[in-house]
Amino acid sequence: MPLAMGVDSSTQSTKVEIRDVDTGELIGSGRAPHPPTSPPRSEQEPQAWREALLDARTDAGSHGVQSMAIAAQQHGLVVLDEAREVIRPAKLWNDTESSADADWLVEQLGGRDAWARACGSVPAASFTITKLSWLHRKEPDHFGRIRHVLLPHDWLTFHLSGRFVTDRGDASGTGYWSPAEGKWRLDLLGIVDGEKDWERCLPEVVGPTEPVRRSGGTVVAPGTGDNMAAALGLALEPGRVAVSLGTSGTVFTVARDPVTDPNGNVCGFADATGRFLPLVCTLNAMKVPIAMARMLRVDLNQFDQLALEGPPGAGGVVLIPYFDGERTPNRPDASGTLRGLRSDTTAAMVARATVEGVVCGLLDGLDALRAVGVPVDDEEILLIGGGARAHAFQRVFADLSGLPVRVPRGEHVAAGACVQAAATLTEQSPEEVAAAWSVGRQGHVIEPDPAVDGAEVRAAYARSRDIAGRT
């Protein structure tokens, strides 16, 4: 029975799954935490990811594996010197110190539309290219030592294989790789520094199931970004929408053709199969109820119950959840806003407003996908990530979207990495393996309550959002 190992190296932790290559059956799993971090400066030592991977692998059990793949948080910047040593802590996707660099880069190329056409996305503070610009501006000595520019999954794969490689999915989140052209855009990096030999600094982009290393009967697969792996784990097909509730929130689907959005709301990523992954990301998802639960002095289970007790519309209370700035809409310097408080406001109303605020922001992302012509099915929404386990989020998503919400079981990023590892080992396509395993089809469904006026709740949120944007 050949086994595949998939790794999800996220902002908060590393998760490992070991699955039967033939059936997808889960054989073992493990988890280990990462050091906590918070914007505006959000950094981690890459070595902490490696140590967490070793701990999570041990936690998963002593199973021999024949193939492995790394999926990791997108956009992060890992820079190495000539000796292949890490120069400084990695800047993570939710580090917002480069917001001024994002604005500068957009201006240098002639605007948002020019960037969307060049690389599928408009740079925001989360993108790797903005972090390189920040490093060039703020830490020129460190910048001058750069010989290798990697993403988190690239760095971990390097330690498994000894090669500097990446895949098209994760590369498409850098701001200097074109999904439409399938190549690095060295001219965009030239805006940051026209003298550096960027081609030498970048990893090789390998195919979706191209083995990176074969050693001792074990195959190392290319790996990918976390959202691309989640799409694999769900066996996501064009038009079927997934919403992920983790530290950040994402709304995405698979598309057959490249997508561009000159407004910058939709990122026109590539996926891990050869197709494309239009995606909207919000900076604030589960960190918001975690923070509000702390303020209300309850644990997350109690907060979930409070939100379920609160009335739809939260008695007029509206939370704009931009606690650490926001990426969509692009407001890196924003903060959270709580409106509509009255002397009879209850804790249940505040909890309900918190959940509704996060959900409304993500439903705005779904509208953004539709606005740029991405085909979206109205059959159901797939709700995944840690926050998908909260009953309040399940209920509010169904009621405000007016669509059934399916909550698949499992760790979908790690499962997707297992899919890629198995496909690389067996020389099948990832789509074939994912469809055969059917991991993403398992789970329960929440139907919307027709008595809830979701349109009015969303309209109240939009009014408060627009007011907050003017202040």
- Residues serving a catalytic function are 226
Whole-Å CA distances, 63 to 57, 160, 271, 293, 419:
9, 17, 29, 39, 17
CA distance 303 to 453: 23
CA distance 428 to 221: 13
Whole-Å CA distances, 263 to 111, 167, 178, 267:
10, 26, 18, 10
Whole-Å CA distances, 414 to 13, 18, 434, 435:
12, 9, 13, 16
Whole-Å CA distances, 318 to 353, 378, 465:
5, 27, 9
**DSSP state, 86?**
B
Whether 326 and 466 have beta carbons less than 8 Å apart is answered as no
Whether 246 and 10 have beta carbons less than 8 Å apart is answered as yes
Tell me the two tokens of residue 364. 């705005």
- 316: alpha, beta or left, given left = phi > 0 and alpha = psi -120 to 50? left
Which residue is it, tokens 């067996």?
426
CA distance 134 to 76: 13
CA distance 372 to 106: 20
Report which of 73, 116, 83, 39 is spatially closest to residue 325, judged by C-alpha positions: 39
Q: How many CB atoms neighbour CB 373 within 10 A?
A: 13
* Distance in angstroms between the alpha carbons of the first and the last residue of the chain: 60
Q: How many CB atoms neighbour CB 354 within 10 A?
A: 29
Tell me the two tokens of residue 240. 């079927």
Whether 52 and 32 have beta carbons less than 8 Å apart is answered as yes
* Burial 308-333, CB ≥16 within 10 A → b, else e: bebebbbbebbbbbbbbbbbbbbbbe
Which amino acid appears at position 453 of this protein? D
Tell me the two tokens of residue 313. 């519309």
| H helices present in 427-470, as ranges | 430-437, 454-470
CA distance 363 to 272: 25
